Every structure is written in structure tokens, then in C-alpha cells.
């Protein structure tokens, strides 16, 4: 066993896994551009208060999962920092810091990158994990809610996942939620003896969080808890009806899940999750999001509506694997440059460099070994062609061997790049 190991709850992305991640990142970037969402990247760590105020103090994220960073020694470095557990709060901080509220609204932003939570490691759940995140800030909806949901669904479908189920709810706003929270608190107090200690504490601080509890004893209690659906105020009910109407218009089916509250305090009104069609259990969600109309104000801005989603890439890859979606293969070079003279590595390197400059994926065999071993290595690499440097070089020519067809011909060195690009594009044997 190796002396040093990756920290518990993290893992190395080996080439085949990194290839799968890169494929999904490429799909995400393409979709974001098609839907009009611009790329953004925020720091991996922020002032802790960004998450404590934005995400909410009475959440698993802040209470148990926040990775806090030890600051440096200088006085100006004594801020309290934390690794980002989710991207929305940091993006809203950037929205305010850089005056995006003066841009044409809504501001549509997308990012793809690692997040960090000190969580209990389990299948599909890591302490360093990746998300595809999309935010639309400055539009009160409900049409943009449907657009965001459509973008998330399209990402799943383009990744190869079978049509996921959409779970949908509204959790109201500051006008109607307080009365519902009071009803919810009264319900839980009638069952207080059954509540785990951490849930009894949350009951006094934020009863809504109990609906998001992962404790087994809470599943039965939550199933019988009051629902907010019948307690929505007029504007919230109208907004939710607008969301479902817009989803119907673009052909997206949804299931109303009245106890779906998501895990962060900043959500208002629309909340949603996606789960695979055959999934069951607390950890079945592979992504979701919702509206956060109060978050900009919480972080010091004027009241501004917003909505977004985060899709867990680790869980999506697990779901794709379970559905039998074939992982992408590792990239193979179009050509490997080999040579009859085992010691003439310089010539092989020069020709490979010329091919790369011409746009060809090429590897030079730089080991001092006989030609037959070099050709075996090219075949193991999955290369389509071997470029053989031999006596023909004096006449400005090389031998081009098609490793798949078993044919070989002489090609002018000056034409080699064009020949290989043509063959790679047409997928015809050389």
C-alpha cells in the first residue's frame, strides 16, 4: 500500500474518470452558451459570513459541513474563511461586488467546478465534489423558473441519462411562510419526545429545516407533517401556477412534492429536484435548485429576485453507470512517430512536433528501442497510424502505416499533416 493516501472523502480522478468529467463539462458549457448563460468563476474560498448569512446558520451545511480555513499570520489575513460548500452565495457576492445590478437584468451566469463539505462519505457523496451551477439574477419569474428547469433537464438528457423525474414545490415567501412555520412547529412539538437532539434544537431555531432531515425517525413524522401547499398566499400561489403552466407549455412533466424544501435557508417559492426514474430514498436526488428572492438583500444588496440550480456531477456519473451508459473512452493519438534507428529520438520528436503544429494528435516514441517494440507501443496506444522514419527521410519522405488496415505507403513529409488530418476526419483507412 502507498505510504500516502488521498484524504478520506476525496479521490483522484484517474484518466478515464477525468475524461467522463470533461465530457460533462463540455456539455454544460455548450448548453449554457445556447441558453444565453455567461461563464463565471468565483474563488474556492470566501469569507465564512458569506455562507453563514447566505446559506443559513441552521443548516447542515453551516452547522456540520463547512470546511473552515486557517488564515495566514498577517493582521490583514485574519479574516474567517471557508471553502465554498455551494456556488450560489459566492456568485451573489460577486454580483454585488462588481455592480452587476447595473447590467441588463436578468444576469445569467453558469459555472462548473469543485465544492467542499465535511460530510459523511458514502456512494456518490464526497467531501470534494463537482457541480454544474446556473443562476439567473434579476427576474421574478415564473417563466425563467421554467427555463432554468428546462436547462437542467436538457443537461441530463444530453449526458445520456434516461428522462429523470422532476419533483416540484413552492415553499412560499415572507408573507405566507411564517404562519405555515408556526403550524409546523406546533406539529413537531406534539412529537417532541421522538425528535433527535439536533432536531429539537432546530425546532426552536428553524422548524422548516426538520422537513429536510435525513434522520430515519424523521421520515415517518415528516410524511404526516402539515403541507404548505394549502397555505400559500395569493401571489405565491399565482407564481407557482405560472411555473407549472410554463412547464406544461414546453412539455415538461412534474410531480408536486409538498415537503420538498431543499437544504439551504435562502430558498423562497419555487424549489425543485431531479431524481432518476427508478430511484428511491433520501439520497436519490441528483440535482436541484430553486428561487432565492431574499439572498441578494441578505448579502447587503437591494431586494432582487433570483433562481438557480446545482447538479452534482459525481452523482450524475453514478446514475449514468447504474443505467448502463457507456463511459467515454480515453483519447487516442491519430499517429505515433517511430523510427528505424532506435537512437534517433530527435528526428521522431521533430516530426511529432510538426504534426502537432498542423493540428494532428501525435505522440513520438522517445524510448531507445527497436522498431518492432515501437510499433507494438503505437498499437497499444490505439493509434490509427504509425509514421515510420527510415531511409526515405533523405528524400523528404516517410512511411505511413495504417495500423488498423495493415497497409503501408510512402508519403511526402511536407504532405504528412494534411494526409493525417484528412484520414482522421473521413475515418477512411490511409
Residue in the block written with cell 431586494: 303
Per-residue pLDDT of 82-122, as tens digits, reads 999 999 999 999 999 999 999 999 999 999 999 998 877 77
Residuewise pLDDT in 10s, the chain (430 residues)? 678 999 988 999 999 999 999 999 999 999 999 999 999 999 999 988 888 876 655 455 555 678 888 766 655 556 788 999 999 999 999 999 999 999 999 999 999 999 998 877 776 678 999 999 999 999 998 999 999 999 999 999 999 999 999 999 999 998 898 888 899 899 999 998 899 888 888 888 788 878 877 788 888 888 888 888 888 999 999 999 999 999 999 999 999 988 887 656 678 899 999 999 877 654 588 999 999 998 999 899 999 999 999 999 999 999 999 999 988 888 899 999 999 999 999 999 999 999 999 999 999 999 999 999 999 999 999 999 999 999 999 999 999 999 989 999 999 999 999 999 998 877 544 4
What are the helix and strand counts (H, E) for the chain? 14, 16
Q: Which fold has domain 335-426?
A: Rossmann fold (3.40.50)
Candidates 261, 300, 249; CA nearest to 58 is 261
CB 55 within 8 A of CB 295: no
Classify 15-176+228-322 by CATH class: alpha beta
CA–CA distance, 368 with 112 (Å, rounded to integer): 42
φ, ψ for residue 315 (rounded to 5)? -70, -35
Span between the terminal Cα atoms of the chain, in Å: 46
Query: Residue 279 burial by CB count (10 A; 0-12/13-18/19+): exposed, middle or buried?
Result: middle
**In 9-85, at which residue ranges do the beta strands (DSSP E only) sit?**
38-39, 45-47, 68-69, 81-83
Give the separation between CA 153 and CA 318, rounded to whole angstroms: 17
| Residue 155 CB neighbour total at 10 angstroms | 23
Residue with the three cell numbers 470546511:
67
Cα distance between residue 122 and residue 11, in whole Å: 12
Distances in Å between the Cα of 260 and the Cα atoms of 53, 171, 240, 305, 365 are: 22, 8, 14, 20, 57
User: What pLDDT does residue 61 have?
Assistant: 55
For 162, the grid coordinates are: 434516461
Under the phi-then-psi rule, with left for phi > 0, alpha for psi from -120 to 50, and beta for the rest, what region is 269? left
Give Dmax (Cα) for the chain: 93
Rounded to two decimals, what is the model's pTM? 0.88
CB neighbours (10 Å) of residue 222? 18
Compute CA 422 distance to the chain's CA centroid, rounded to the nearest angstrom: 35
C-alpha to C-alpha distance for 408 and 387, rounded to whole angstroms: 10
> Rounded to whole angstroms, how far apart are CA atoms 335 and 377?
11
Question: What is residue 174's predicted lDDT score, i.e. its pLDDT?
Answer: 86
Q: What pLDDT, on a 0 to 100 scale, did the predictor assign at position 177?
A: 86
Distance CA 108, CA 36 (A): 7
The string of DSSP codes covering 81-114 is: EEE-SSSHHHHHHHHHHTTGGGSSSSEEEEEEEE
Report domain extents, the chain.
15-176+228-322, 335-426
Short-list 86, 85, 70, 89, CA closest to 117: 85
Distance CA 112, CA 42 (A): 10
Cα–Cα distance for residue pair 175/178, rounded to 1 Å: 7
Compute the mean pLDDT over every residue in the chain, rounded to the nearest whole number.
89
pLDDT of residue 41: 97
At 400, give phi and psi (nearest 5°): -115, 110
Burial per residue of 392-405, b for 16 or more beta-carbon CB atoms within 10 angstroms, e otherwise:
bbeeebbbbbbbee
Please report the sign of the dihedral spanned by the C-alpha atoms of residue 128, residue 198, residue 51, residue 297: positive
Amino acid at each position: 500500500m502507498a505510504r500516502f493516501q488521498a484524504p478520506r472523502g476525496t479521490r483522484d480522478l484517474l484518466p478515464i474518470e477525468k475524461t467522463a468529467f470533461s465530457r460533462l463539462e463540455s456539455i454544460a458549457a455548450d448548453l449554457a452558451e445556447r441558453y444565453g448563460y455567461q461563464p463565471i468563476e468565483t474563488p474556492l474560498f470566501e469569507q465564512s459570513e458569506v455562507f453563514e448569512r447566505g446559506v443559513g446558520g441552521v443548516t447542515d451545511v453551516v452547522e456540520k459541513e463547512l470546511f473552515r480555513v486557517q488564515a495566514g499570520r498577517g493582521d490583514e489575513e485574519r479574516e474567517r474563511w471557508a471553502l465554498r460548500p455551494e456556488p450560489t452565495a459566492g456568485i451573489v457576492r460577486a454580483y454585488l461586488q462588481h455592480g452587476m445590478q447595473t447590467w441588463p437584468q436578468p444576469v445569467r451566469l453558469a459555472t462548473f467546478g469543485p465544492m467542499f463539505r465535511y460530510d459523511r462519505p458514502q456512494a456518490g457523496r464526497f467531501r470534494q465534489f463537482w457541480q454544474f451551477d446556473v443562476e439567473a439574477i434579476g427576474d421574478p419569474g415564473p417563466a425563467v423558473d421554467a427555463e432554468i428547469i428546462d436547462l437542467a433537464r436538457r443537461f441530463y438528457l444530453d449526458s445520456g441519462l434516461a428522462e429523470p423525474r422532476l419533483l416540484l414545490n413552492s415553499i412560499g415567501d415572507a408573507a405566507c411562510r411564517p404562519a405555515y412555520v408556526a403550524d409546523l412547529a406546533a406539529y413537531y412539538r406534539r412529537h417532541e419526545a421522538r425528535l433527535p437532539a439536533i432536531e429539537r434544537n432546530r425546532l426552536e431555531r428553524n422548524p422548516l429545516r426538520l422537513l429536510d432531515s435525513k434522520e430515519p425517525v424523521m421520515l415517518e413524522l415528516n410524511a404526516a407533517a402539515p403541507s404548505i401547499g394549502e397555505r400559500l398566499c395569493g401571489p405565491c400561489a399565482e407564481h407557482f401556477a405560472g411555473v407549472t403552466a410554463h412547464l406544461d407549455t414546453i412539455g415538461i412533466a412534474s410531480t408536486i412534492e409538498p415537503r420538498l424544501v431543499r437544504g439551504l435557508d435562502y430558498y423562497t417559492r419555487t424549489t425543485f429536484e431531479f431524481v432518476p426514474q427508478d430511484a428511491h430514498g433520501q439520497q436519490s436526488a441528483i440535482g436541484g435548485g430553486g428561487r432565492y428572492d431574499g439572498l441578494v438583500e441578505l448579502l447587503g444588496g437591494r431586494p432582487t429576485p433570483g433562481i438557480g440550480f446545482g447538479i452534482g456531477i459525481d452523482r450524475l456519473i453514478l446514475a449514468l453507470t447504474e443505467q448502463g451508459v457507456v463511459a467515454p473512452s480515453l483519447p487516442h493519438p491519430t499517429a505515433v512517430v517511430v523510427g528505424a534507428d532506435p537512437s534517433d529520438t530527435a528526428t521522431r520528436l521533430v516530426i511529432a512536433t510538426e504534426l502537432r503544429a498542423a493540428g494532428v494528435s501525435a505522440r513520438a516514441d522517445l524510448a531507445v528501442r527497436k522498431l518492432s517494440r515501437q510499433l507494438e507501443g503505437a498499437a497499444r496506444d490505439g493509434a490509427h497510424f504509425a509514421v515510420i522514419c527510415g531511409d526515405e527521410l533523405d528524400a523528404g519522405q516517410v512511411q505511413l502505416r495504417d495500423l488498423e488496415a495493415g497497409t503501408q505507403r510512402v508519403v511526402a513529409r511536407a504532405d504528412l499533416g494534411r494526409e493525417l488530418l484528412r484520414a482522421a476526419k473521413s475515418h477512411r483507412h490511409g
